Amino acid sequence: PRTAAHTGELYCSLPNPRNVHFESINMKNVLHWSAPEGTGEGVLYKVKYSVYGIGKWIRKPECRNINRTWCDLSNETADYEEQYYASVKAFLNGMCSDWMETARFNPLTDTKLDPPMVNLSSTEKSISIILTAPEKWKRSPDGESVSLLQVYPGLQYNVSVLNKKTKKRWFFSISNNTLVVPWLEPGTAYCVSAQIHVTTPLIHSGFSKEYCIATLKDKTA
C-alpha cells in the first residue's frame, strides 16, 4: 500500500465496505456489512468498536483478517446503558479501504425482540396459557440468565386465541405471563399465539407461531 506522504497513513484506495450496521435480536448484537462494490473473492476485513463518549477504538481480535461479512459484538456491547459505534476496514491484494462506521447503536432501543414462548394445557372447558419472555443474550450457556422482563419493566403480552371450529379470534392484553380462558367448548381445538409489547421505549415482537391444543371431550356426553 502506498503511504500518504504527509500523514504517514496507508493510502487506501480499495472501495469501502457498505451498509455497515448492527443487527440485534434480544440484545445479541451482530455487526453486518456488505462487501465493497466490484470486489470478488479474497477480501479480508478487520473490525473495531468504541463506547460512545469514551471513544477509544478497540480492535476485535476474533474479527481480524476475516473473510465473512459479520462479526458478533454482543460481548462488547452487553452493557445496554451505554451506546456504541463499530467500524470495518477491507483489505485485498495489498490495498485497503477506509474505515466505515455504523450509526450510533443503542442496544436498549435498537434491538428486536423474539416472540414469547407459549406453553398450553387444557381441561374439558378451559385452556391455560403460560408465556415466557425470551432471555437477553448471555455470554455463555451457563451464564446468568436475564429475562427481557428485567430489561423492560413495562413489558406486556398480547395474546390471540383462535377457535378452530368457529374461526373466531379473541385478543387479550395481559401484564403477567399466565392466562386461563375458561368456559370453552369441550372437544374443540384452540390455537394461541402471543406477542411482546413494550410501551417505553416502544418495541414489540412479532406474533409467535400458533400453538394449538384441544379441550378434552365432555365425559358426560
Partner 1 sequence: EDALLPSPQNISILSTNMRHFLTWSPVTIQGETVRYSVEFQGEYEREYANESWIPICECSLITATVCNITEDISATVAYNLRVRADTGARRSQWGTLKGFFNRITTSLTPPPMKVIADGYHLLVELKDMGPAFQFCVLYWKKGQESRMHWKMVKDVSSTVHLDTMEAGHDYCVKAQTYVETINRSSSFSQTQCVRAQGGRSLWL
Partner 2 sequence: RISMSVTEIRSGFTAIKANIQARDPIRTLSILSHPQSLHKVKSSDRCCIIHNLFNFYMDKVFKHCQTEDSYINRKISSIANSFLSIKRKLEQCHNQNKCLCGQESTEKFKQILANYEGLNITSAAIKSLGELDILLDWMEKSR
Contacts with partner 1, residue ranges (CB under 8 A) = 158, 160-161, 163, 166, 168-173, 181-185, 197
**Nearest distance from residue 188's CB to partner 1, in Å?**
10
Q: Does 98 bind partner 2 (CB under 8 A)?
A: no
27 touches 143 (CB < 8 A): no
182 touches 125 (CB < 8 A): yes
Of these partners, partner 1, partner 2, none, which one is at the site of residue 117 (CB under 5 to 8 Å by kind)? none
Of these partners, partner 1, partner 2, none, which one is at the site of residue 11 (CB under 5 to 8 Å by kind)? none
Alpha-carbon distance 57 to 47, whole Å?
10
Cell 399465539 appears where? Answer: 193
Q: Does 85 bind partner 2 (CB under 8 A)?
A: yes
**Nearest distance from residue 180's CB to partner 2, in Å?**
30
Q: Does 108 bind partner 2 (CB under 8 A)?
A: yes
Alpha-carbon distance 207 to 201, whole Å?
19
Q: Does 199 bind partner 2 (CB under 8 A)?
A: yes
Among 153, 171, 176, 182, binds partner 2 (CB under 8 A): 153
Alpha-carbon distance 47 to 209, whole Å?
36
Alpha-carbon distance 107 to 55, whole Å?
17
**Nearest distance from residue 207's CB to partner 2, in Å?**
23
Cell 390471540 appears where? Answer: 160
Q: What is the identity of the amino acid at 26?
A: N
**Which CB sits closer to partner 1, 42 or 182?**
182
Smallest Cα–Cα separation from 184: which of 128, 118, 117, 119?
128
Q: Given the rule CB under 8 A, which residues bind partner 2?
A: 50, 52-56, 81-83, 85, 103-104, 106, 108-109, 153-154, 199-202
